[in-house]
Amino acid sequence: MSTDDQILIVGGGLGGLTAALGLARRGRSVRVLEGAPEFGAIGYGIQFGPNVFHAFDRLGISDQVLAVADTPPALLMLDVLTGKVLVRIPTGASFRARFKYPYIIVHRIDLHNVLLDACRRNGAIELVPDAMVKSFEDGGDRVAVTTADGRSFSGAALIAADGFRSLFRAALIGDGEPRWTGYAAMRTILPMAELEADVPRDCVVLWGGPGCHIVHYPLRHGSEFNLVAVFRTSTYAEKGDAASYRAELKETYRDAHPTTHALIAMIDLQWRRPIGDRAPVRHWHKGRIVLLGDAAHAPLQSLAQGAGMAIEDGLCLAETIHAANGDYGQAFRRFEQLRLVRTARVQLESRAMWDFFYHVGGIERDVRNATVAGWDEAYLFDCLSWLYDGFELKSANGR
Ligand SMILES: Cc1cc2nc3c(=O)[nH]c(=O)nc-3n(C[C@H](O)[C@H](O)[C@H](O)COP(=O)(O)OP(=O)(O)OC[C@H]3O[C@@H](n4cnc5c(N)ncnc54)[C@H](O)[C@@H]3O)c2cc1C
């Protein structure tokens, strides 16, 4: 394969690396440009439904992923005010029998390293760290980019996997700032031995209630504890100091169940981000450039599927490029057709869950709690099947 056919991927996150592996597996040469000084992820936990294993199987990395992941026995939703368990989704044997693969929780760094190792073993993939792309030009038959330090690269096509604040989305779609929710997230990882709160240590637990939620789960075979607090605040976009963050957390969770107070006391006051998403759009490509993952369709994290969708995208796009045999317009259109409804559903359902399920108070909370009381395992599995049954790849390449 001549380097004239090489494809540029901007962004070495989970979506970009999956696309690189998917293309290399089909014999394509790729160069991945990552803006950070090193390839690797920021360290916190991430959840995946069984749907990602359809992609991991194809890439031959499922065993390596399972070796670094935990498989919780259940996903629990608790009322943040009373501590009552509202929903229990069993993720043990019956879940595995229904969805073929497990639900996993994993340290993002560990998953990233599995993908990076696979990329490094593949001679068709060149990884270029410290390459922050600042500008680009689509010349019709090739795409050229320039990095912040003045280097230039070019490729037959470009995959923009540059995440939530995508430079390429701004140019191709131009829909401005993300839609900010008015919520901020703060997260922490601590040794399990330091956890003092009386909470389930082996499950994924979501506490949901008026204007706030908390998520926690174990990592690294139960040796670490991942904790995220998300809450509505008028200061979501502002930077504060530790004392103001501490006071705000205390006030926000004042009426929450006492157990959550012990959790909130463990929150690291350094990491705080505003939470936003994107509305679905129909087209993610122009000429020889295509967006994937968060750059194309960033959701809220209610379904814990943003990275899952980026991974599914990466493999799907690699297959449509392979099948189109050099016709990038056709490959990118097919990719959009195959991925639009599924990713838009994740965006829209995540918004609905955020507003009408996670964060409700008053009568809405009474209705939520009464409604979910009738949900049994069979019903929950049916509700989740559109997502967890995975994405059918066969149609991507006609086989
Ligand atoms: C609090 C929170 C919890 C979440 N939990 C989950 C979860 O449990 N499960 C789940 O599936 N999803 C979760 N998500 C969503 C998930 O993090 C994202 O959807 C996912 O990371 C998107 O992957 P990506 O590859 O598209 O982009 P990213 O992971 O953002 O990767 C983009 C990469 O591009 C690089 N980059 C950016 N700009 C440039 C440039 N100009 N030049 C070169 N490189 C560039 C960045 O450095 C980065 O490495 C969560 C999100 C949040 C905020």
Q: Whose CA is nearest to atom 41 of ligand 1?
A: 133
Q: Which of 26-35, 98-107, 153-162, 231-240 has the lowest mean pLDDT?
A: 231-240
Tell me if 281 CB under 6 Å of ligand 1: no
Of the listed ranges 3-7, 245-249, 302-306, the least confidently predicted one is 3-7
For ligand 1, is residue 7 a contact (CB within 6 Å)?
no
Confidence check: pLDDT of 235 > 90: no
Does ligand 1 come within 6 angstroms of the Cβ of 306?
Answer: yes
- The rounded distance, in Å, linking the Cα atoms of 197 and 202 is 13
Nearest in space to 116 (alpha carbons), one of 223, 6, 36, 189: 36
Cα dist. 398→55, 79, 225, 332 in Å? 17, 46, 44, 15
Ligand 1 pocket test, candidate residues 44, 106, 164, 172, most atoms within 8 A of CB: 164
Q: Is the pLDDT of residue 313 over 50?
A: yes
pLDDT tens figures, 337-395: 999 999 999 999 999 999 999 999 999 999 999 999 999 999 999 999 999 999 977 65
Q: Which of 105, 106, 179, 294 to mutate to test the pocket of ligand 1 (most atoms within 8 A of CB)?
A: 294
**Ligand 1 atom index nearest CA of 36:** 47
- Ligand 1 atom index nearest CA of 46: 8
Q: Chain centroid to CA 286: how far? A: 24
| Cα 121 to ligand 1 centre (Å) | 23
Q: Taking the CA atoms of the chain, what radius of gyration do you get in angstroms?
A: 21
User: Element (H or E) spanning 310, and its range?
Assistant: helix 306-324
Nearest atom within ligand 1 for CA of residue 131: 43
- Using one digit for the tens of pLDDT, what is the confidence trace for 121-149? 999 999 999 999 999 999 999 999 999 99
For residue 13, the ligand 1 atom closest to its alpha carbon is: 31
Ligand 1: distance of its center to the CA of 41 in Å? 9
Say how many Å lie between the CA of residue 287 and the centre of ligand 1.
24
Cα–Cα distance for residue pair 269/266, rounded to 1 Å: 9
Say what the pTM is. Answer: 0.97
